Amino acid sequence: MKFAIYLPPDSEGKKNPVIYWLSGLTCTEQNFITKSGAQKYAAEHNVIIVCPDTSPRCNIPGEDESYDFGTGAGFYVDATVKPWNTHYKMYSYVTQELPEVIHANFPIDPEKQSIMGHSMGGHGALVCYLRNPGKYCSVSAFAPICHPSQSPWGRKALTGYLGDTGDAGIPDEWKKYDATLLVAKFDGQLADILIDQGDSDEFLKAGQLTPEKFVQACKEAQVPVILNMREGYDHSYYYIATFIEDHIKHHVKYLRS
């Protein structure tokens, strides 16, 4: 696995907060670093940013047959179906293995970490946050796949990595990786969840993202959520670059508190 890391100029000799960024389908560890413009704001607020790759790259047969499954599409789950279960353990990698590597080699404050992401990575960020209360100070997401058990992208990935639904409804393994289902049953205190969504996003219109279902589940569970609908914006990194400052400020508010 590869990852990219940004260290602010004032990081030497200090333990700084860290924000983990999870990228979307087809991305590598480089997309956010090269396209988002986040370094300027990370430098201003003295936060470290870590960007893992989106999947293992281990030459499994069939790994490169489609853009939305296999290479570049690990979906931040721990696969249970062969042959994916040998290497595709992205949930454990993001929440356990990668932080251990980062803490051992860089000036990180392990008590001050947050997580954010885009699309498939927004799904991953929400799931990591909701399944690990207290591990992350805050979460935010751009155009996340909010209800993967009910979206075409999500159903394909969850079926391939975790097994088919059969006739018994949504399997328990699927429920572990569906932010809308997780938040609906959440009982506890959370920081405001920040969701950013362009209203001209083609994947919003195609029913892949469904932020309204996540927001409704949050309200019913009394979990604080902010949904910013951005008029005229799509699913691209131009959109992310426009609003990344807002997201970093959102995380800094909690990382510095």
pLDDT digits (tens, 9 = 90+) for 17-52: 999 999 999 999 999 999 999 999 999 999 999 999
Q: pLDDT tens digits, residue range 126-146?
A: 999 999 999 999 999 999 999
Averaged confidence pLDDT in the chain: 96
Q: So what's the pLDDT on residue 14? A: 85
87 is catalytic: no
Residue 166 confidence (pLDDT) above 90: no
* Given the residues 55, 119, 138, 140, the one annotated as active site: 119
* Given the residues 87, 235, 247, 251, the one annotated as active site: 235
66 is catalytic: no
Mean pLDDT of 195-203: 98
- Inter-residue contact 4 to 42 (CB < 8 Å): no
* Given the residues 151, 201, 247, 250, the one annotated as active site: 201
Q: pLDDT tens digits, residue range 104-123?
A: 999 999 899 999 999 999 99
- Inter-residue contact 38 to 6 (CB < 8 Å): yes
Residue 71 confidence (pLDDT) above 90: yes
250 is catalytic: no
Q: So what's the pLDDT on residue 168? A: 65
From residue 247, give the alpha-carbon distance in Å to each of 97, 144, 182, 221: 25, 14, 22, 23
> Which pair of tokens denotes residue 51?
């960007």
Residue 199 confidence (pLDDT) above 90: yes
Q: So what's the pLDDT on residue 228? A: 98
pTM: 0.96
Distance in angstroms between the alpha carbons of the first and the last residue of the chain: 32
Give me the sheet containing 139-142, strands edge to edge.
Answer: 3-6, 48-52, 16-22, 108-118, 139-142, 193-198, 225-230
Dihedral of CA atoms 247, 197, 74, 156 in degrees, nearest 10, equals 160
Residue 165 confidence (pLDDT) above 80: no
> How many Å separate Cα 179 from the centre of its chain?
11
Greater confidence (78 vs 187) lies with 78
Q: So what's the pLDDT on residue 12? A: 78
